[in-house]
Structures are given as structure tokens and as C-alpha cells.
A and B are shown apart, each in its own frame.
Chain A
């Protein structure tokens, strides 16, 4: 088949992503202008940056091969991180339950709901590292600050998810138990808890995994665990030890992710 077609003179252009030309060009110009402005207004220290390449080479030379000589320090750091993660997960879960009930719009009265949501928003807004600094100032260096930090961190996530789950519960069961003359506490126990339990268990395991990850970094501001060990290694230019620590952190995170993933898959 090879028939030539008469030209109709009709052209075709791909319809633009945004139909309104003013909006389209406006957005494009605004984006370009923003990127340009942001790049020029950010205070880059070019002289210092130029030293980067030789420094990077020096650091990598210093880092290879990774040194496991101070294995004991490494091991202790990890153990402390794990302990921080376990304790803070449990504490966080325990505190999350009442906060979640307080922040579920279908259960809590308005004033309580406002407080509950406020707590969750505050707990979620701050990066754990910021929370950690404050706790370090309040209770001093060490794992205690780490535990408190990660407890707050856990509340931010678990209480939020749990509150959402509570808001989705099947209301019929609550009615049923209320109709049977159950007191409020009994109602919660029999009608709500069983419905949120599966979610709660999944969340706990997920949170333990997250807390283990986070415990590696809150140490960087002095809240104990492997992060503190890593920061010390960096501070003393022990790049080979720092690399060893980093590799171990990666390994532990991968293992813990695999385990938590497997458990959660089996649960659901």
C-alpha cells in the first residue's frame, strides 16, 4: 500500500499541558525565575567548595578499608540503639492509644479532640533530631534523651494512624454493646479495641523498625546510640571507623526492614 494523500494543509500541535496561555507562560517564567533566584541567593561558599575534590579524595582514602578494630565500641553503640528503639516503641505505643482515642472525632468530645490533634501535629511537625536536641538540653546527654525523643516520634505516627482507624470503625458494634447497657469503658473494650487491634499490631512492628532507623540519627545530637559513635568518629577524622559504622547501619536497617516486612505480610 502506498497511496499519497492530498495535503489538506491542516497542521497539528500537541495541546499544551496547561490550556490557558497566560497561566502556562506565567508558571514557566515563575519557575525559571524561582530556580535562578534560589540558586543565586543561597549562600554558596565557592572557595571552600573548590577544596571539595581533594578533600573527598582524602576522606575516601582515609575511609578505605573500613576499620572494625574498635568492634566493641561499634557493638555497644548498636546495642544501645536497639534498646532505645525497644523501650521507646513500647512507651510510644502505650501513650498513643489514649491520644488516638482523644483525637478520633467519632469518640472524643470537641475540646478533647482539639487537644489530641494538637499533640499529634506538634509531635509530627518536628524532625526527631530537633526534639532530641531539646531533650538533651532537658535531661542531659545519653540514651534517656533518645528514648524520650523516639517516644514523641512514635506518638506522631502511631497515634495519627490509629486515630484514623478508630474513625473508620464499624459503628454498629458500638451501638450493640451500648444497647446491651455497657458502660463507656466496657464499650471501648469490647467494641473498639478488637476492631483496631490488627492495625495496632502492624503499626507496632513498623514503628519498631522506624525507631531503629531513627535511633541511629538522634545520636548525632547526643541522644545516645550508634549515632553518637558515628559523630565521634567523624569528629576525630576516623573515616575508616565511620565507614565501618555506616556499613553496619545499612546492614542492620536492611535486615530489620526485611524482618518487619515479612512479619507484617504474615499478619495481614
Chain B
């Protein structure tokens, strides 16, 4: 259970990017966050694992208050939170296996990390997950030799290696082609239900959000102005979230008849 209360974030002296934001994500739900560029989606996600320092407010994950943690306690909390990045953020010159195992760095003793002598248990888990997403045969390849979709799979497996209690994905499909992008979304949804894992996904593609998630949160100017099921996201709600953005562009690159229908209604 993730509970965010009255979260405020301002960068420097500028006006707040997140304004007294409240959000609750109970276990096992896949939530997508939509909103125009600059709405504060990435900032929200990054506040949760403290890659960005919140200015005030509280973030609680399964009973642990995250905003006050420092040093070792922060690292212990972070290893419970998996994150998938838009740019994959892999270590290019290391092998896929090392990248995947880097998800365990919060748990591993330093000597094992240095010598790459990972516990057999972790290796089993890694192969299991890599097989699940279809990249096991790449274990010894260097990360920069893979295609974008394969790289993002490595990113997903790395996050899952943490045995996270929640998964954060910041536009995980924005750098991928439409087909691969759908595969990754499908994967995230399937993994969430297999592993009983709550997932928060920032996403620009409203169709994918509707298709793959049970709950959609709409942000505008640092506030949540929509929170409901995909079917509740009607044209008025969309207009409010993306005020000024023509309806045709909201669907992302591919034209989707489903959206046309919604928009036409």
C-alpha cells in the first residue's frame, strides 16, 4: 500500500511542481498516470524513491515513512522500490547478467558485487525472470548490443530482481516502437498480476493506458484532477487534463480507432 499525503515539491525558489498531492495505491493495482508535459509526473515518481527530494508532505510505503529516511535506511527502503526508466539506464559496457544482478546490489555483500560471484539463488531468479521476458539467451551479451525493446526488458528484470514491493515506471515505452511498446506494457501488466505487485506507470499514450491498466490518474499543473477507471475517462475529462492539446494527438503516434470512437462520442 502506497499512501501519499499533501506532497509538495518545488525546485529551488520556483513555484511548486507538485501541489499538495494526495494519492493512494492499494496492493496489486496497475495505475497509469497521464498528463501533459511538465505536469509533474516524473517528479511524482522520483519523489517516491527519493531520486528527487520532496519539499514537504508524506509518502508511506507499507507502513514505512519514506520522506524522512537518510543514508543506510534510505538505501534499505529504495531496494524495496523498483524503477523502470524511459532511457533504460543500463550500464552499457556490462553484460546483461551484470545489469540484471545490479538490481540486487542493495542486498549483496560488497565482495560478491566486486567479484561477480552472485549467490546461486539470485542467478536462478535472474534466469527465471529473463526467460519469462525472453532475454535469457542474451545473458552474456553486452547491454549496448541489444535492441531498445530488449534493453527495456533488461531494465524490467533488473527492477524485479529487487523483489520490490512496488514498481515505478517512468514512460517505459516512450523510446520504443509501437509494437515493442505494447509488448512491454503487456509484460508489465502480466508481471504485476503474477507477482502481486502494485505498479505505477507514467505514460503519454492514453490508449495504452486505457488498455493495460485498471486505474488512470490524470495530472495537470502538479495536481491530480482525474482518478478513475478507464471507462470514466471521457472527452470532458481528457479536455481538462490536456487542455489545449487536440484530441487526435492524445493517442500518440499510431491512430487508434478506439480513441476515435471515444472522441466522437
Q: Which A residues contact B (CB, under 8 angstroms)? A: 1-3, 5-8, 10-15
Contacts and interface: CB of A to CB of B under 8 A. Distances in A.
Given A6-B124, A7-B120, A10-B123, A15 B140 contact: yes
Contacts of A12: 97, 118, 123, 126-127, 139
Contacts, number: 38
Contacts of B126: 12
Contact of A14 (B116, B127, B165, B197): B116
7 tightest Cβ-Cβ pairs between the two chains A and B: A14-B116, A1-B195, A5-B128, A5-B125, A15-B140, A12-B123, A5-B124
B197 A1 contact: yes
Contacts of B140: 15
A20 to B, nearest CB: 16
B95 A15 contact: yes
Contacts of A1: 163-165, 195-197
A14 B127 CA distance: 14
A8 B130 CA distance: 13
Interface in B179-206: 195-197
B163 to A, nearest CB: 6
**Residue from the set A2, A8, A11, A12 with the largest chain B CB neighbour count within 10 Å:** A12
Contacts of B163: 1-2
Given A1-B163, A14-B95, A15-B95, A8 B195 contact: no
Contacts of A6: 124, 128
Contact-residue bracket for chain B: 20 to 34
Contacts of A2: 163
A24 to B, nearest CB: 16
Contacts of B170: none
Contacts of A8: 124, 127-128
Interface string B96-137: 011000000000000000001010110111111000000000
Nearest to B194: A3
Contacts of A13: 116
Contacts of B95: 14-15
A15 B120 CA distance: 17
Contacts of A11: 120, 123
5 contacts: A1-B163, A5-B121, A12-B97, A12-B126, A14-B116
A10 B165 contact: no
Contacts of A15: 95, 140
A7 B165 contact: no
A15 B145 CA distance: 15
B98 A10 contact: no
Nearest to B196: A1
A3 B125 CA distance: 9
A243 B14 CA distance: 53
A10 B195 contact: no
A15 B94 CA distance: 10
Interface centre among A1, A11, A14 (most CB of B within 10 A): A1
A15 B96 CA distance: 11
A1 B160 CA distance: 9
Contacts of B127: 8, 10, 12
Contacts of B125: 5
A6 B197 CA distance: 20
B120 to A, nearest CB: 7
B28 to A, nearest CB: 10
Contacts of B195: 1, 3
Nearest to B136: A10
A5 to B, nearest CB: 5
A12 B98 CA distance: 10
B197 A7 contact: no
Contacts of A5: 121, 124-125, 128
Nearest to B140: A15
A5 B121 CA distance: 8
Contacts of B116: 13-14
A11 B116 CA distance: 12
Nearest to B160: A1
A3 B140 CA distance: 25
Contacts of B128: 5-6, 8
Nearest to A2: B163
A8 B120 CA distance: 10
A266 B125 CA distance: 57
Nearest to A1: B195
B207 to A, nearest CB: 28
